Structure 1
């Protein structure tokens, strides 16, 4: 059977909800069982259908960028696939919700643009000077601030867009919230800064909901075998993270350091020997990852890792270099293997991604902190040769017997970059105890200066629980509402819970096609299901135990169960 759909073409494909000023025709040949809408919260909003060629104007209008109204919402045609078979022409149509067209609009912020003959709402102060947009600036903003910047005033009017913020949101620190970008970029910034927010558009009315405002209980329920013929449950730990090294903001500090060396007294050999002696005083110090920082503050004898050890030796001579291998790469220039001398740095790994470092005592010997479970030691360079070598100019001067004035001891004044708090390893213990350890990449922030704030930020970035998918096949005609907090009951699993509807593929006009819905995954749902499984297993174990006791009390020993029969019974109940 066919459904009547409204097809529209706006002049010059202007982004707007079609009205009486546009070309509109009624399509009578869309097959009702082929029409479905696919939606996933904050991700997908598309539609699909197939129509047959009834030689109507509406059918001829099924071309890209024209629009079709389906279930009260306008969708833009993105793909058309005409097909001719057996004398009948059909067209399969793929559509995107009209709100997706905000990717076509672009705001340039303060970037200069020569607009020429085109009307605009952006900056018109054109200059040949290249703006400095490299600095990352975090600002405290709300979702409304970002929406106003992109869609407020003439911007929204020119693109026929309105917007709403529904619910309460605290301000968040957002890096460059008003930077140039598309309308889609603006929505993405909001969803990244407020992960629990929901973007749900009503045609071109763009709506940002808080979690509690979007997910509502409308009194609907899905009971397995009554409302739904199939329930699929799936765990997926692929993207889990519950631990990482946290690296916060840095600051520049002016320092004056005593080199510990008498002025004017070093010869070439004396300088090298002083560096060797200083490095060897750390022999036996245990390798401890992340220890020894901040260099000059932390006690090196409590433990150091490979980079903090080399940085510490340099620090002892008034040379301030970072204590991270990649950052240390820029504090020297590359040299060949045959040029290596005291104080040179040996890097392991590729440039820009080095992962280990040692220091040369001479052309044949190196000193380094090897790995966890070992201590600072010397080895022949040939035993574990670095990928490449670098020489630091200031260290080379000391090794060569560099000197300063004759006022006792030499000192240097320099500025160094220092963390507000030492980078540290952080674990979501609740998640670790429940699922095990999942270590992710470093979590960094250029703005956070407080350790506790950094922990809170990390927790918002972790994915502490597995993806837990509940997908239901629901009977035709069952009402499906976005954000619906439905009651789900799976009686065979003794499982009852409340979950939010976060996705669907529904057939709004079909009387025969079953829709599928996806329900929200969260820690409570996972634990509820685990508890139901454990309860079911405990009940089966008690039944098995009772049967064993009963069989042992029988007078007829030939009727007693043997061990194999008990295991077979238990297995049959679990399956």
Structure 2
């Protein structure tokens, strides 16, 4: 079988523990793996698997082909997931299906504060390990502003599986629902992909690497020419999953349905001093854009922004107001000079961008900006554009700070939208392809209509899928994420596309590498232009043919318009 097989390292799993095999492990060399059968398949953020077939040569290594053992292929370790022995003609072969070792994070489990658990004598990480009989409040269900490294840290810091991680490139913090909720390692990685759809997770064994789009997709100056580097280019053009319009539904808040000037049970007392004490208890709480507090609910001490802080202080006194600066403008009337509990707005009416709360006539308290905490400053330090007074808060401020805590509570509330749900379509996509309606685009955090439209454009599928599959002349090693210039000269098709998948036979001398390239708006435009040029060429050929026929043949000297069009269509197909 010399020349038909290739040696592969194989290592037995010890007690089911996950690690990258090293010199301290008992590693055998499998000599009977058929070279042409060894295949690696990768698809961005989806598939990373391998397969091989080996024959029984009576070796120890062949007998290690058991599920959950490790095999090294082209420098990466894979875990055996399925084996299919076949007995035929006196020979035993085994077909083996493997998964990249990083996929084993699906076996890991992290329990956060939302799921108390008694670990007993079992080692654990990533959770408090609390075994209290008290049912914990589900603070993890709140939307929080995070970065990819925050989610990775919560899941993998202190793990005993040998897993490390890197974040490569620049990411903006975004709001994520329940970023630290209990789940598997795969659940945590899926949250990252869901929050940053352009990111790519491409591991090096057990080093999990999260790339930004621009750091993963790189142009190294390579090109693929049809009939030069490849004899097969397949294009798939598909509108099935398109959506360019739908109903947009944004965030909501609770609004009192009855007037209420009293205090809820257990709240602070009446009077200016009570309001001051209540507001000051949040000093030091970090600024978190879109964070908890007030009408948004959740644990305010986990982080608030400027408007949810004001909403929270009002809520502590039984006054429900929205946690959105512009909406708060409608919750009071303008005054010339502030008193305790008044709201100070920055910007113009109807477009305010920041809010503060007056502690007294000369001092204010507020959540400043990302990276800072709730603090107090003199009003003269950064005077608001104007002040507003809420009558319910003013009534409480004017009350006696006597310790009497028996005021009336709210009798009801109703859910209100920050803006009415509305129909939206992306005009550029509509002009090109027509209407492709789909389900609602929703957000629990977006409170601005324009921001909602920008968000919808990121969720829509504005163009058809155009998948390009190229079979190379040979089994060259693919470079995941490489941006390549693709030319199909006979069809006038030239475009630049990123590689998002491949099938590779690293040890074969005959099996060709197949690479898959993703579509974007420019690729589709390039394809449309190539089709237009092809049709124009055919039309010119028809005109030339007609002209030549009129001087050399008898009978019908000209074609009808329908005949010419029929000929053009046949050539085009």
Matches within 5 A, 1:147-162: 147-152=152-157, 154-155=158-159, 158-162=160-164
Pairing partner for 1:139 from 138, 144, 164: 144
- Quickly say closer, same or farther: Cα 1:92–1:555, change in 2 above 3 A: closer
The 1-side partners of 2:23 and 2:566 are apart by 72
Match of 1:431 in 2: 429
Match of 2:196 in 1: 194
* Secondary structure, aligned partner of 1:120: coil
Greater alpha carbon shift after TM alignment, 31-40 vs 542-551: 542-551
Match of 2:216 in 1: 214
- Quickly say closer, same or farther: Cα 1:555–1:219, change in 2 above 3 A: closer
- Quickly say closer, same or farther: Cα 1:534–1:556, change in 2 above 3 A: closer
Answering whether residue 557 of structure 2 is matched by residue 560 of structure 1, we say yes
Greater alpha carbon shift after TM alignment, 192-201 vs 564-573: 564-573
Matches within 5 A, 1:302-341: none
**Alpha-carbon distance, 1:246 to partner:** 0.9
Contact 2:82–2:97 under 8 Å retained in 1: yes
The 2-side partners of 1:530 and 1:496 are apart by 11
- Quickly say closer, same or farther: Cα 1:25–1:460, change in 2 above 3 A: same
The 2-side partners of 1:130 and 1:167 are apart by 40
Match of 1:458 in 2: 456
The 1-side partners of 2:568 and 2:438 are apart by 40
The 1-side partners of 2:20 and 2:569 are apart by 60
Match of 2:120 in 1: 116
**Alpha-carbon distance, 1:136 to partner:** 3.4
Match of 2:134 in 1: 129
Match of 2:16 in 1: 13
* Secondary structure, aligned partner of 2:218: coil
Structure 2: gaps of 5 or more residues: 260-409
Match of 2:482 in 1: 484
Question: Number of paired residues?
Answer: 417
Per the normalisation by structure 2, the TM-score is 0.70
The 1-side partners of 2:72 and 2:517 are apart by 26
Contact 1:551–1:559 under 8 Å retained in 2: no
* Secondary structure, aligned partner of 1:76: strand
**Alpha-carbon distance, 1:556 to partner:** 6.4
Q: Deviations over 1:375-399 (max 9, x none)?
A: xxxxxxxxxxxxxxxxxxxxxxxxx
Contact 1:494–1:532 under 8 Å retained in 2: yes
**Alpha-carbon distance, 1:11 to partner:** 1.6
* Secondary structure, aligned partner of 1:11: coil
Q: Deviations over 1:60-84 (max 9, x none)?
A: 0000000000011000000000111
The 2-side partners of 1:417 and 1:556 are apart by 81
Q: Deviations over 1:456-480 (max 9, x none)?
A: 1111111111111111111223341
Contact 1:10–1:22 under 8 Å retained in 2: no
Structure 1: gaps of 5 or more residues: 258-411
The 2-side partners of 1:212 and 1:181 are apart by 29
- Quickly say closer, same or farther: Cα 1:561–1:221, change in 2 above 3 A: same
Greater Rg over alpha carbons, structure: 1
- Quickly say closer, same or farther: Cα 1:455–1:562, change in 2 above 3 A: closer
Match of 2:538 in 1: 540
The 2-side partners of 1:93 and 1:253 are apart by 61
Match of 1:226 in 2: 228
* Secondary structure, aligned partner of 2:221: coil
The 2-side partners of 1:10 and 1:21 are apart by 13
Answering whether residue 85 of structure 2 is matched by residue 58 of structure 1, we say no
Matches within 5 A, 1:145-544: 145-152=150-157, 154-155=158-159, 158-255=160-257, 414-544=412-542
Per the normalisation by structure 1, the TM-score is 0.70
Q: Deviations over 1:36-67 (max 9, x none)?
A: 00100000000000000000010000000000
**Alpha-carbon distance, 1:560 to partner:** 2.4
Contact 1:10–1:23 under 8 Å retained in 2: no
Contact 2:256–2:414 under 8 Å retained in 1: yes
The 2-side partners of 1:503 and 1:233 are apart by 15
Q: Deviations over 1:194-236 (max 9, x none)?
A: 0100000000000001111111112322111221121111112
Match of 1:270 in 2: none
The 1-side partners of 2:176 and 2:418 are apart by 20
Q: CA-atom RMSD, angstroms?
A: 1.9
Q: Deviations over 1:303-347 (max 9, x none)?
A: xxxxxxxxxxxxxxxxxxxxxxxxxxxxxxxxxxxxxxxxxxxxx
